[in-house]
Structure 1
Amino acid sequence: MVIKPRLKGGLALTNHPIGAKEFVKRQIDYIKSQDKYTGPKKVLIIGSSSGYGLSTRISLAFGTGAETIGVAFEKGVEGKRIGSAGWWNTIAFTEAAKKEGIPAKNFIGDAFSNEMKDEVIKYIKEEFGGKIDLVIYSLASGVRTDPKDGKTYRSALKSTKEEITGPTINFEKETMEETTMEIATPEEIKSTVKVMGGEDWKLWIEALSNANVLADGFKTVAYSYLGPKVTYGIYKDGTIGAAKRDLEHTADILNDYLKEKVNGEAYVSLSKALMTRASAVIPIFPLYAALLYKVMKEKGIHEGTIQQKHRLLKDMVYGNNRVIDDERRLRPDNLEMREDVQAEVEALWDKVTPENFKEVSDYKGAREEFMQLNGFDFDNVDYDADIDIEELAKLHP
């Protein structure tokens, strides 16, 4: 089988297993080029297969030698379906880690379920030394079944105040076009908070604590995003914003809880705008990211996902260069939110049109990053080569 990219708007319908291996390798190579740092020894990453979670796992494993457990909901080869990008990322990471003697265990399934929590806790107790130092919560899901009542909730990317119309990038058509975000119903707001808020994070930490598997000084960090004024309609004033505020409130609750239990701490970390599989489908965001990339690259301060998470972990979570705001949020987005950066992005926002967006923005860089998330556009991968899908089907994370 020859695998070619197929897109639908900001969604990739195919991915390339060999490209995924290169995607992971380049991140590992970056970490190996950096100085080692002192960090946690035993880590659980909930949402470990792509984006922020994958980069975090790579930084910790190859930057500190940490043993990691990854939890992700991914699919492998099914008939002619090649499997998800996260499936191949996880296989590539695990192979690379084990090659260097770094233990890595994967749990593929529903992180929201009680069964998954029980499985992970059993593994920690019986095969992972009994205690963990760090939990990273980096889930990006649009659907969650509440384990308490069995009800399934679906998130909605909508406004909570007024209908919003703005420009975005369609990667499939390679065009800039108008998109409209509708007003959410109260039920949609509630559902989005149930899926993307802090409830499941809290359930995980409480389950781990009750099982007595948290080490003294344990830390937990949940990943989030705020963004600038041009994205406030989506994030701050949108259904996502309601969920993010719930996540931040949960961090404060967990911080007090962990301080008492294990002299621990809990934080929300606000990430820099980056192209991830989740962010690529959010209206307006791809255009903002492309404009931001242009400005930050010109200033020499652009970071990809691996650089961003490595700096967060090395300098802020386990270092002495912690950037934290008045609401107790870690701010590795501090370079993005610099006044000079945002002023230049806003100026470009006023100039960009459907005719000039590829020149005014770093469209090329944003699209390349999006394609590489799915294993495409690497200059050293032969995309005309025949892939043996039967051999691939034998591989498992």
Structure 2
Amino acid sequence: MSLRHIDPKQRGFLIVNSHPTGSATTVTRTWEQVPPRPEGHSPVVLLLGHSAGYGLATLLTGMRQHGIRGVGVAYEAPETERRTASAGWYRTAAAARLAHEAASDFVFVNTDAFSDKGKDEVLDLVQERFGKVDYLIYSLAAPRRTDPATGTVHHSVIKPLGQPYEAPALDFSDDTPKVTTVRLEPATEQDKQATEHVMGGADWQLWVKALADRDLLADGFTTAALTYIGSELTAPIYRQGTIGAAKEHLERTGRDLNTGVLADRGRAFTVVAGAAVTQASSAIPSIALYTTFLRTVLGEGFRTTAQQAQDLWDQLTGATPLVTDDEGRIRLDGWELDPHVQDQVRELWSDPQNGLAHSTAGANWFINQIRELYGWGVEGIDYDQPAETTVAWPQP
């Protein structure tokens, strides 16, 4: 037992410690917001990146509505003398508790999913405990990746391509959010390639091939990788930047899987999700301000990751028809890119200082969402009380 009184250690969008009770509570509340469905088929799912964002939402909605069983994979930091465990560590423990209460045979592995060792560890467990896999969900996000073939460590960067990027951004380093200007120099070709190595489809393809080599693809096997397109307002730093290049690589990989290793054996999709407040997205300049304006326009119409994950599972399982675009991508972002919505966001963006003045509620919501990612600012939690920070990783 390790009861400690902890306070958030925050620098801008980065919070370097987490609150275990708050982190666990966010998982429970997401679970409770998902309507359960009658028992039915319980597909085997391998979920890469289960501990945050869309991956966590896909896990919780899958267990709650479709009775999924299988293995979740994440790479989370344990508690040390100086710091709490990561929020994803505490969220995993909470998700494991919910799985147990729901009698869902879902287990969790803490390992580097990019490594050969990690793949072997996970696939040994899959093979021994579950057999063939029905769904592989790829939702990994990381700042770096070691190429398992060469040992080269690649670091992703957030930069524009071709020309400098200058745009308004949200700054809440003080108590009051304000608009600032961010400027980034263009990426080099090496920057672009490194980002593709980390955030592209290379590892997705390795995982599918590893499953195929072990004869672990179930009949009708489906794999889906999460991606994002977003608004034209953020395109210069996102879709037209280094991250966008990586996402295009991911989408090409999906097409290659369908014509290659999965030909006549399964299907691969990239899934275009809508905007969300995640640890990954908060690091991208201008995304915070854009998301604040989007929330201001949509209010409660802003779809949560859990709502989007429900849409995804309904489409993957055939409960509702697939909604795909001309490139075969599953689209979950129609609510965000609705022209009427984008027109209103564009109006706020055209005068960001004035736009922020009209978006106080949206800015406060965004900041609260960031804090909740780490378990802070969660309603109903008494942060003056000591918290149990020593939480074991759930064992199979």
Tell me, yes or no, if the aligned pair for 1:39 and 1:60 is still in contact at 8 Å: no
User: How much has 1:13 moved relative to structure 2?
Assistant: 1.4
Q: Which residue identity is paired with 2:285? A: P
Q: Which whole-Å CA distance do the structure 2 matches of 1:360 and 1:278 have between them?
A: 23
Partner of 2:69: 67
Partner of 2:297: 295
Tell me, yes or no, if the aligned pair for 1:316 and 1:330 is still in contact at 8 Å: no
Change (3 A) 1:185 1:10: same
Q: Which residue identity is paired with 1:266? A: A
1:98 aligns with 2:105: no
Residues 344-381 of structure 1 show CA distances to partners (whole Å, capped at 9, x for unaligned) of 11011113207944636611211121111111112211
1:274 aligns with 2:268: no
User: How much has 1:318 moved relative to structure 2?
Assistant: 3.3
Residues 287-326 of structure 1 show CA distances to partners (whole Å, capped at 9, x for unaligned) of 00011111122xx532111111112212455332322111
Partner of 2:306: 306
User: How much has 1:36 moved relative to structure 2?
Assistant: 5.1
Q: Which whole-Å CA distance do the structure 2 matches of 1:366 and 1:229 have between them?
A: 21
Aligned partner of 2:247 among 235, 238, 244: 244
User: How much has 1:64 moved relative to structure 2?
Assistant: 1.0
Aligned partner of 1:183 among 183, 186, 203: 186
Aligned partner of 2:125 among 114, 123, 126: 123
Aligned partner of 2:45 among 43, 49, 53: 43
Partner of 1:80: 82
Change (3 A) 1:388 1:88: closer
Q: Which residue identity is paired with 2:338? A: R
Gaps of 5+ in 1: none
Could you say what secondary structure the match of 2:6 adopts?
A: coil
Could you say what secondary structure the match of 2:310 adopts?
A: helix
Partner of 1:161: 162
Q: Which residue identity is paired with 1:134? A: Y
Tell me, yes or no, if the aligned pair for 2:96 and 2:394 is still in contact at 8 Å: no
Aligned partner of 2:32 among 26, 29, 32: 29
Tell me, yes or no, if the aligned pair for 2:70 and 2:126 is still in contact at 8 Å: no
Tell me, yes or no, if the aligned pair for 2:39 and 2:67 is still in contact at 8 Å: no
Residues 218-262 of structure 1 show CA distances to partners (whole Å, capped at 9, x for unaligned) of 000000111111011012210001101100000001122354352
Partner of 2:9: 6
User: How much has 1:342 moved relative to structure 2?
Assistant: 0.6
* Bigger mean CA offset, 9-18 vs 187-196: 9-18
Partner of 2:362: 362
Partner of 1:145: 146
Change (3 A) 1:356 1:57: closer
Q: Which whole-Å CA distance do the structure 2 matches of 1:25 and 1:116 have between them?
A: 28
Q: Which whole-Å CA distance do the structure 2 matches of 1:278 and 1:2 have between them?
A: 28
Q: Which residue identity is paired with 1:238? A: G
Q: Percent identity?
A: 33
1:100-115 equivalences in 2 (<5 Å):
100-115=102-117
Could you say what secondary structure the match of 1:375 adopts?
A: coil
Residues 25-60 of structure 1 show CA distances to partners (whole Å, capped at 9, x for unaligned) of 0111011x3545867611011111111100100011
Partner of 2:320: 320
Change (3 A) 1:241 1:396: same
Q: Which residue identity is paired with 2:380? A: N
Could you say what secondary structure the match of 2:92 adopts?
A: helix
Could you say what secondary structure the match of 2:353 adopts?
A: coil
1:223 aligns with 2:226: yes
Could you say what secondary structure the match of 1:101 adopts?
A: coil
Q: Which residue identity is paired with 1:80? A: R
User: How much has 1:103 moved relative to structure 2?
Assistant: 1.2
Could you say what secondary structure the match of 1:274 adopts?
A: coil
Could you say what secondary structure the match of 1:362 adopts?
A: helix
Partner of 1:211: 214
Q: Which whole-Å CA distance do the structure 2 matches of 1:160 and 1:183 have between them?
A: 5
TM (normalized to structure 1)?
0.94
Change (3 A) 1:341 1:251: same
Tell me, yes or no, if the aligned pair for 2:36 and 2:64 is still in contact at 8 Å: no
Q: Which residue identity is paired with 1:117? A: K
Q: Which whole-Å CA distance do the structure 2 matches of 1:395 and 1:222 have between them?
A: 26
User: How much has 1:396 moved relative to structure 2?
Assistant: 4.5
Tell me, yes or no, if the aligned pair for 1:165 and 1:180 is still in contact at 8 Å: yes
Could you say what secondary structure the match of 1:135 adopts?
A: strand
* Bigger mean CA offset, 99-108 vs 252-261: 252-261
Tell me, yes or no, if the aligned pair for 1:290 and 1:363 is still in contact at 8 Å: yes
Tell me, yes or no, if the aligned pair for 2:179 and 2:356 is still in contact at 8 Å: no
Q: Which whole-Å CA distance do the structure 1 matches of 2:148 and 2:93 have between them?
A: 28
1:336 aligns with 2:336: yes
Q: Which whole-Å CA distance do the structure 1 matches of 2:179 and 2:132 have between them?
A: 49
Could you say what secondary structure the match of 1:77 adopts?
A: coil
Q: Which whole-Å CA distance do the structure 2 matches of 1:77 and 1:294 have between them?
A: 37
* Bigger mean CA offset, 345-354 vs 80-89: 345-354
Tell me, yes or no, if the aligned pair for 1:308 and 1:332 is still in contact at 8 Å: yes
Tell me, yes or no, if the aligned pair for 1:291 and 1:360 is still in contact at 8 Å: no
Number of aligned residue pairs = 390
Change (3 A) 1:248 1:395: closer
TM (normalized to structure 2)?
0.94
Q: Which residue identity is paired with 1:50? A: A
Q: Which whole-Å CA distance do the structure 2 matches of 1:317 and 1:167 have between them?
A: 41
Change (3 A) 1:251 1:395: closer
